[in-house]
């Protein structure tokens, strides 16, 4: 369980750095009132992005992680955005699009 807590904190720190460099934008938002697809969240964590959070731009921020950590409680490194509450066991991690808060998605 300690590894999951550590890895979740690592994801959260990366999301907060993204937000700080992108004028307060949540890593989980595509545009105002529109959640980002999970693939974009993953890209934002692992690749350089422009000022509005999209990859492949001359003005670059990040990357914030070398790899997405594997959730040791369900062996998944996938991310989902919103949907069922965390704990559904569908992916390794769940991010709240509005707040950018990461939680483990393992089942109890």
Summarised one tens digit per residue, pLDDT across range 26-79 is: 999 998 899 999 999 999 999 999 988 988 777 789 999 999 999 999 999 999
Residue 56 belongs to a domain: yes
More confident residue, 59 or 12: 12
Number of domains observed in the structure of the chain: 1
Pick from 85, 7, 91: nearest CA to 106: 91
- Count of C-beta atoms within a 10 Å radius of residue 99: 13
Residue 71 belongs to a domain: yes
- Count of C-beta atoms within a 10 Å radius of residue 105: 25
Tell me the average pLDDT across 12-39: 95
63 preceded by a cis bond (ω within 30 of 0): yes
Residue 102 belongs to a domain: no
Residue 103 belongs to a domain: no
Q: Give the integer Cα–Cα distance in Å for 89 and 17.
A: 27
Residue 6 belongs to a domain: yes
Length of the chain: 108
Tokens 């369980």 label which residue? 1
Residue 52 belongs to a domain: yes
Q: What is the pTM of this model?
A: 0.94
Tell me the average pLDDT across 1-26: 97
pLDDT value of residue 56: 76
Residue 64 belongs to a domain: yes
Asked whether the predicted pLDDT for residue 81 surpasses 80, the reply is yes
């Amino acid at each position: 369980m300690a590894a999951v807590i550590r890895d979740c904190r690592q994801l959260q720190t990366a999301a907060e750095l993204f937000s700080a460099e992108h004028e307060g934008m949540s890593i989980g938002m595509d545009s105002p009132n529109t959640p980002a697809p999970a693939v974009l969240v993953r890209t934002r964590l692992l690749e350089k992005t422009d000022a509005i959070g999209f990859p492949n731009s001359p003005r670059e921020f990040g990357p914030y992680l070398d790899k997405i950590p594997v959730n040791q409680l369900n062996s998944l490194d996938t991310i989902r955005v919103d949907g069922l509450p965390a704990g559904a066991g569908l992916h390794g991690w769940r991010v709240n699009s509005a707040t950018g808060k990461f939680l483990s998605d393992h089942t109890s």
